């Protein structure tokens, strides 16, 4: 959580670049999003007109060793991550004291857009289909020795029915040393663990967003998700393990197997993968 001093410094020094600013051969068009470490823009190549995404390390972060280390680590991990499910890194540019990643522009709708802007709803069966697709994507990362650690609804996109995962700003190698614990924020220790369980935990919360998309409260009293969501006991059990309420899954393959078993148990002859739904 940013301190008051950090928020003031961001307001002064971390202002987005103006439209038309040139980063190498790319002209900034507009802001796509802003995170704790970076600001991302849409840009066009000055000769070809090709659209790309430009991620700028916040100037306040560029003044810290940790911020620069995070920037170079993100570039390294993006180059290492292979497959069509992740954006390609084109260039790393340092210019005017700024630090930029030039990468593929993923033209799709985030699940945050789908749920909160498009008002799309996801049934239990559809949620399981999405999760199974994500299991395959995340498994490919884990096989490369990478944990994403930020699998949230703004970082998972639907591109014409195909899922893509963006933002490697918090990703790490499987053999990285654990982060210094901050016992003020116990959930952060779970989310930032150097372990596959971190990605499973994020996917658990991702799933709850999908399932709550069709929830309509019948009463004002707030209850637990297990009481509010009309889902099968089997899926509840899987979610409890993902969220580490019960003994957690230790690998993405274990989650994948449990979800596949659930779809077979339901004998869903009409069950289709998300990419074909």
- Summarize pLDDT for 107-160 with one digit per residue, the tens: 999 999 999 999 999 999 999 999 999 999 999 999 999 999 999 999 999 999
Q: Name the residue with higher pLDDT: 247 or 268.
A: 247
Report the SS3 class of residue 58.
coil
Strands (E), the chain: 22-23, 26-34, 38-45, 51-57, 89-95, 98-104, 109-110, 146-147, 156-159, 162-165, 172-173
* Tens digits of residue pLDDT in 174-207: 999 998 877 778 888 899 999 999 999 999 999 9
Q: Is 55 annotated as a binding residue?
A: yes
Query: What CATH number was assigned to the domain covering residues 14-104?
Result: 3.30.200.20
CATH 1.10.510.10 in the chain, residue ranges:
109-276
Dist CA 158 CA 246 (whole Å): 31
Q: Scanning the structure block, which residue is given the tokens 């290492």?
A: 80
Chain region(s) in the chain for CATH 3.30.200.20: 14-104
Q: Which of 14, 96, 113, 150 is catalytic?
A: 150
- In the chain, the percentage of residues whose pLDDT exceeds 90 is 79
Per cent of the chain over pLDDT 70 is 91
Phi-psi group of 114: left, alpha or beta (phi > 0 → left; psi -120 to 50 → alpha; rest → beta)? alpha
The fold adopted by the segment(s) 109-276 is Transferase(Phosphotransferase); domain 1 (1.10.510)
Q: For the chain, give the mean pLDDT.
A: 91
Per-residue pLDDT band at 2 (split at 50, 70, 90) = low
Distance from chain centroid for Cα 201: 12
What are the CA-CA distances from residue 208 to residues 36, 58, 177, 201 (Å)?
Answer: 24, 31, 30, 11
pTM, entire model: 0.90
Catalytic residue flag (residue 14):
no
The one-character DSSP state at 213 is T
């Amino acid at each position: 959580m940013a301190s008051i001093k950090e928020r003031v410094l961001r307001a002064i020094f971390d202002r987005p670049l103006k439209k038309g600013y040139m980063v190498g051969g790319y002209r900034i068009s507009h802001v796509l999003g802003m995170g704790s470490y970076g600001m991302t823009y849409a840009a066009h190549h000055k000769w070809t007109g090709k659209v790309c995404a430009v991620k700028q390390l916040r100037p306040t972060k560029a003044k810290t060793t940790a911020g620069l280390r995070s920037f170079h680590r993100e570039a390294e991990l993006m180059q290492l991550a292979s497959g069509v499910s992740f954006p390609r890194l084109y260039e790393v540019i340092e210019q005017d004291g700024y630090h930029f990643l030039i990468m593929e522009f993923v033209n799709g709708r985030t699940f945050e857009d789908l749920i909160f802007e498009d008002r799309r709803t996801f049934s239990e069966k559809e949620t399981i289909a999405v999760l199974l697709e994500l299991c395959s994507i995340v498994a490919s990362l884990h096989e490369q020795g990478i944990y994403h650690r930020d699998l949230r609804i703004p970082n998972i996109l639907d591109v014409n029915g195909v899922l893509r995962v963006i933002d490697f700003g918090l990703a790490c190698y499987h053999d990285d040393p654990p982060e210094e614990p901050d016992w003020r924020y116990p959930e952060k220790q779970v989310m930032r663990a150097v372990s596959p369980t971190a990605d499973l935990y994020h996917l658990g919360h991702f799933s709850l967003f999908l399932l709550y998309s069709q929830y309509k409260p019948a009463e004002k009293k707030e209850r637990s998700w297990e009481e509010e969501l009309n889902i099968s006991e089997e899926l509840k059990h899987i979610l409890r393990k993902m969220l580490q309420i019960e003994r957690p899954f230790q690998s993405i393959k274990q989650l994948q197997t449990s979800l596949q078993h659930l779809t077979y148990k339901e004998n869903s002859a009409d069950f289709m993968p998300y990419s074909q739904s």
